[in-house]
Amino acid sequence: MATSTSISNTLIPFHKTQKKSQQTKTKPITLCMTFQEANNTTTSPTISTVTTELATATATTSARQENLDHKQEAMQHIYRKRPKHPQEHHNRRKLRHVWREIQGESDWAGLLDPMDPILRLELIRYGETAQACYDAFDFDPFSKYCGSCRFTRCNFFSSLGMNPTRHGYTVTRYLYATANINLPNFFRQSRWPKMWSRSANWAGYVAVSDDEMSKRIGRRDVVVAWRGTVTHLEWVADLMDFLKPFSAKNIPCPDPTVKVESGFLELYTEKDESCGYCKYSAREQILTEIKRLLEMYPNEELSITMTGHSLGAALATLSAYDIVETGLNVVGDGRAVPVSVFSFSGPRVGNLRFKERLETLGLKVLRVLNVHDMVPKSPGLVFNEHLPAAVMKLAEGLPWSYSHVGVELALDHKNSPFLNPNGDAVCAHNLEALLHLIDGYHGKGERFVLATGRDPALVNKACDFLKDHYLVPPNWRQNENKGMMLSHDGRWVQPERPKLDDHPEDMHHHLKQLGLATSYDI
């Protein structure tokens, strides 16, 4: 930002008179004087000239200052990290003292309007955890590793350049899903005959906070991040839009009327025993890893946090419900580890009974969405929670009657001065854009001001949503040379990557303890 010279030090000199005898000693006239003070400093006959010059200079300075004020006001959206909000200035709470409240212990009552600053930071942090699934995924069909993660577990966050003070987690397991189900726009496969796997796709990861991070956030946090769909919205049309009992896949559930979307359930429970990566279902992978980590820290304060965007948000909700329904979050001494879901732009998952059962079990879900996004409005375009309760009760048995769960935080991209109000459906569904909206949201009717200094350029990482005058190119995140490297003999080649971990050696042990082992596993 340009700096302006202090106008109080600007001097306006007298014009000398023609006759030396008429000269009068004067003190310099400055712009910090009033016009009356300037008149009293001299009896020179040229004082009218000085007054005119003073008026002209003052008018010019005033115009320049006004222009500077406008520029400062326009730029404060980017550079002002602490907006004039009483809760921002006087908040002295620490996350480690209020983490249960932030995780939804009281259903986020009083934290959303106005937006609690600690909750804002946590929403962005968990949103970045979900965004990491997109940034690490190999979408390139010309890569023989298409459909896999580009990085190994041990250097996952560091390879993405994620700040260890905000993401002090260790990835303990990668999650895989079989591509042998009807969701083609979720799965990606290489065009080359030689590929890393013909049946599997990387679907997310499980991570646990390290000692330093655990100290800052007040507990040992186990995070499950599910990958969603970033480049296409056609997967919504792929949904069968047909509810299936949650217990249909031999999942313990005392109420057969609890139903979820059949495509989500298949993605969560299907496996391919001929594939090393997906010979266990995503459900088996998650439940065994959660069990292992809870046993690893028996005497610590713990939390389980599920997160995801788009289809990943649906899987986060489904797997979180599975954890509390099976009682996996109840540890040896009888304590129930709190389970929370931070859902970003997620669709509806199940019917009204699913919603009621989920709430009865104490699962906390916070759904963040853009009101212009079509995905949270699906499935259940006709029969959904917006209908009167009596009508929903009558439609309860229909296979296409859905209801959203948890607490909703609805944001509007048209409130951001950075974003094109006429952005397309892909833009409205973009996760980076949603994190941008969280950063600028302070409450209903409040002015949009970025609170954390998060760079708006991130919005255009994988879409074209920012206004042109910000000079940020669309879809700017690219792999250097599309992953090609110059070999020692001067040829450009796709380098080999380290083999990704599939499943831990003690997998069958935990499956047996959960009652999920089959003869194949043993």
Identify the DSSP state of 33: S
Q: 196-215 as b/e, with b when 16 or more CB fall inside 10 Å? A: bbebbbbbbbbbbbeeebbe
Quick one: how far is CA 401 from the chain centroid?
29
Active-site residue, 429 included: yes
Cα distances (angstroms) measured from residue 343 to each of 17, 272, 318: 79, 28, 11
Q: Would the CA dihedral through 461, 464, 470, 471 be positive or negative?
A: positive
Per DSSP, helices labelled H in 347-477 are 352-360, 389-394, 425-428, 431-440
User: Residue 483 is which amino acid?
Assistant: G
518 three-class SS: coil
Identify the DSSP state of 149: B
Going by C-alpha positions, the residue among 4, 64, 3, 59 that lies closest to residue 31 is 59
Instruction: Name the catalytic one among 167, 404, 413, 429.
Output: 429
> Which residues are within 8 A (CB) of 480 and not within 5 positions of it... i.e. 6 or more apart?
none
Pair 372, 428: CB distance under 8 Å:
yes
Rounded-to-integer distance, Cα 261 and Cα 244, Å: 6
Rounded-to-integer distance, Cα 14 and Cα 28, Å: 8
Active-site residue, 436 included: no
Going by C-alpha positions, the residue among 281, 274, 187 that lies closest to residue 235 is 187
366 three-class SS: strand
Going by C-alpha positions, the residue among 167, 165, 171, 131 that lies closest to residue 151 is 171
Cα distances (angstroms) measured from residue 265 to each of 79, 182, 219, 249, 403: 45, 12, 31, 8, 16
What DSSP assignment string belongs to 497-509?
-PPPP---TTHHH
The tokens for 163 are: 């700040």
Identify the DSSP state of 30: E
Pair 291, 514: CB distance under 8 Å:
yes
Rounded-to-integer distance, Cα 273 and Cα 341, Å: 30
Pair 144, 190: CB distance under 8 Å:
yes
Pair 285, 173: CB distance under 8 Å:
yes
Instruction: Name the catalytic one among 140, 373, 464, 502.
Output: 373
Instruction: Name the catalytic one among 310, 378, 403, 416.
Output: 310
Residues with catalytic annotation? 310, 373, 429
